[in-house]
Amino acid sequence: MIETRVSRGIVSTYMDKLQRNLELDVAIVGGGPSGIVAAYYLAKAGLKVAQFDRKLAPGGGMWGGAMMFNQIVIQEEAMDIVCDFHINYQPLDEGLYTMDSVESTSALLYHAVHAGATIFNCYSVEDVIFKDNKVSGVVVNWTPVLREGLHVDPLNILAKVVVDGTGHDSEIAATVARKNGIRLATETGGVIGERSLDVVAGEDEVVKGTKEIYPGLYVCGMAASAVSGTPRMGPIFGGMLMSGKKVANEIIARLAR
């Protein structure tokens, strides 16, 4: 019966997808713009990459532009990435471009998955696997399980490296520091917390702060700003895209060794 075939098709292919992703090269936590860009370049380089976002619709803070005015701004330095994702744009004024935030977010997601990354939506990463003083994977649970406070154990997914792309809260870096009595590669050894808005400094420093902060753990996007204590920058997204590309390139160079 077609009713059963539809259900069987979904269950069996979903389970295949999950099984294929139980051991990864790269686990990316958070489906914001920086993480999605990273997923795209990592997948294009042939690495096995999965991305986990707690929401039904990944894309993070990009869908809503600024204050729900659904346009975003990107500077010249990141336009090569905009072109890689085939996003339409309009010149704004010197060195700045504007684009539709819905087209931009959906283009990032489409190209990442099409390039071979797997995105698991409705998955919350509640912890990491921490072995031999190294971050070695992620511990995942259904978002509704956590929202309901149900007493249900998570699943474990091994990864050679984990990327914290969780945005302003840098949840994974904070969890690793809090639970394991270790020091992150920051001035204080912990998550410093993002500073108030400064577009120029924020855009510059988010890319500089994109790096490995503990063996096996990288940060990108606003999580990198939060970890390093650098300014937020608001609805200009070039730094997010460049941060995602930078973390991908660092991981590609490392795993290709």
Please report how close the Cβ of residue 153 comes to ligand 48F at its closest, in angstroms: 16
Binding map of ligand 48F across residues 17-46, x = CB under 6 A, - = no contact: ------------xxxxxxx-----------
Residue of the chain from 109, 237, 241, 252 that contacts ligand 48F (CB under 6 A): 237
- Closest CB to ligand 48F among residues 101, 136: 101
CA dihedral sign of residues 10, 11, 13, 18: positive
Please report how close the Cβ of residue 239 comes to ligand 48F at its closest, in angstroms: 7
- Closest CB to ligand 48F among residues 35, 209: 35
Our finding on whether 235 is near ligand 48F (CB under 6 A) is yes
Our finding on whether 240 is near ligand 48F (CB under 6 A) is yes
Our finding on whether 231 is near ligand 48F (CB under 6 A) is no
Our finding on whether 52 is near ligand 48F (CB under 6 A) is yes
Residue of the chain from 134, 229, 232, 249 that contacts ligand 48F (CB under 6 A): 232
Please report how close the Cβ of residue 60 comes to ligand 48F at its closest, in angstroms: 2
Residue of the chain from 42, 48, 135, 167 that contacts ligand 48F (CB under 6 A): 167
Two tokens, residue 130: 């921490």
List residues near ligand 48F by CB under 6 A.
29-35, 52-55, 58, 60-62, 124-125, 165-168, 171, 221-223, 232-235, 237, 240
